[in-house]
């Protein structure tokens, strides 16, 4: 079993899919000879050939449109957009075609494409390179949205996304690409989509997060544990469709919930989760739901980036507010 970082785990999953399924093709800007801007596809064109690992022009609209056509004709395209800030020209094809193909054809056609793109802040990148568009994408009926938070989950969830018969947007937190390593078995085992992962158990408070912010959330849980507060940590992993059942079950036991995400606050996924708790779990709550989020601004450049991102201190402070209000 190899010890991999997240971008290496993505590479390993892509290689496994290419090796075991002849319908899988990769396409994107500079993904061939260069191995992609973050080297997620390093060595794959040399191993599987230029007809299955396809370098495209710098044209996100064309990448998405080509992927939709490939999927409709029976291939399983995995398209790469270099940064999620450049995803917007591709939205026409994702919203108007990929997400609707099954409904439009009354089930005659499906669209088994995966669109991968790095996302999120924390690497001191310029404008358009640190976007967190998950709420916007999750709002589109017919699109499944997935975001891993570790190398092992990246490997298993990406394989599941490639095997899914409908379109999946696979958001890869840039900050995690090379942040840490863990053992990842190259066994072809997919992880389940559409379910949360409970990373640690707790009785006093539920912390819900996803992507890169899982790591600040777990650090906050450690800090709270030192104070005698046992926080349960839930990684959403699949952001659409949302596994509210796991969150509701957790909050039924803890009575309190803090939601953490780095995307902008207004109309973010945190609001959707809070609404779900209000609709179906209100009588379990001992205190108001708290959100710790990014701000309703353009994600700032390097100098202010850490001021924008939720910190461990902000998460702990929100947790303390819920505990004080419940006492």
Q: E strand or H helix at 252, and its extent?
A: helix 244-254
Query: Of 16, 129, 215, 261, which one is the catalytic site residue?
Result: 129
The answer to whether 116 touches 170, Cβ cutoff 8 Å, is: yes
CATH number of 197-325: 3.40.50.920
At residue 129, the pLDDT reads 87
Q: Kindly state the average pLDDT of the residues 91-119.
A: 96
Using 50, 70 and 90 to split pLDDT, how confident is the model at 126? confident
The residue ranges of every structural domain in the chain are 2-184, 197-325
Q: Return the CATH class of domain 2-184.
A: alpha beta
How is residue 37 written in tokens? Answer: 């801007």
Nearest to 112 by CA among 78, 139, 82, 138: 78
Q: 238-240 and 144-146 as β-strands: parallel, antiparallel, unpaired? A: antiparallel
The answer to whether 297 touches 304, Cβ cutoff 8 Å, is: no
Q: Tell me: the pLDDT tens digits for 128-164?
A: 888 999 999 999 999 999 999 999 999 999 999 999 9
d(C-alpha 222, C-alpha 201), whole Å: 12
What's the predicted TM-score (pTM) here? 0.97
Domains 2-184 and 197-325 share a fold: yes
Q: Tell me: the pLDDT tens digits for 8-19?
A: 999 999 999 999
Residue 128 designated active-site: no
């Amino acid at each position: 079993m190899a010890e991999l970082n997240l971008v290496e785990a993505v590479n390993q999953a892509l290689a496994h899919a290419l090796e075991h399924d002849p319908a899988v093709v990769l396409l994107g800007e500079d993904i061939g000879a260069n191995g992609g801007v973050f080297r997620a596809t390093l060595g794959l064109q040399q191993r599987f050939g230029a007809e299955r690992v396809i370098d495209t022009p710098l044209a996100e609209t064309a990448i998405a449109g080509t992927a939709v056509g490939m999927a409709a004709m029976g291939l399983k395209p995995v398209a790469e957009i270099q940064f999620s800030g450049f995803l917007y020209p591709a939205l026409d094809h994702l919203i108007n075609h990929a997400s609707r193909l099954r409904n439009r054809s009354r089930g005659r056609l499906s669209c088994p494409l995966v669109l991968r793109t790095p996302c999120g802040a924390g690497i001191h990148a310029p404008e358009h390179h640190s976007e967190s568009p998950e709420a916007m994408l999750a709002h589109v009926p017919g699109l499944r949205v997935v975001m891993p938070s570790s190398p092992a989950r990246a490997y298993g969830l990406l394989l599941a996304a490639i095997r899914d018969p409908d379109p999946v947007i696979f958001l890869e937190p840039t900050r995690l690409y090379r942040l840490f390593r863990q053992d990842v078995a190259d066994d072809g085992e997919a992880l389940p989509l559409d379910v949360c992962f409970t990373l640690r158990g707790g009785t006093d408070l539920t912390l819900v997060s996803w992507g890169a912010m899982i790591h600040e959330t777990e650090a906050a849980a450690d800090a709270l544990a030192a104070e005698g507060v046992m926080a349960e940590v839930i990684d959403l992993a699949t952001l659409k469709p949302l596994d509210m059942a796991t969150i509701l079950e957790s909050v039924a036991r803890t009575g309190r919930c803090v939601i953490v995400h780095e995307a902008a606050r207004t109309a973010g996924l945190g609001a959707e989760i809070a609404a779900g708790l209000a609709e179906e779990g209100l009588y379990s709550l001992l205190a108001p739901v708290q959100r710790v989020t990014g701000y309703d601004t353009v994600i700032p450049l390097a100098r202010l980036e850490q001021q924008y991102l939720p910190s461990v201190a902000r998460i702990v402070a929100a947790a303390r507010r819920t505990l004080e209000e419940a006492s």
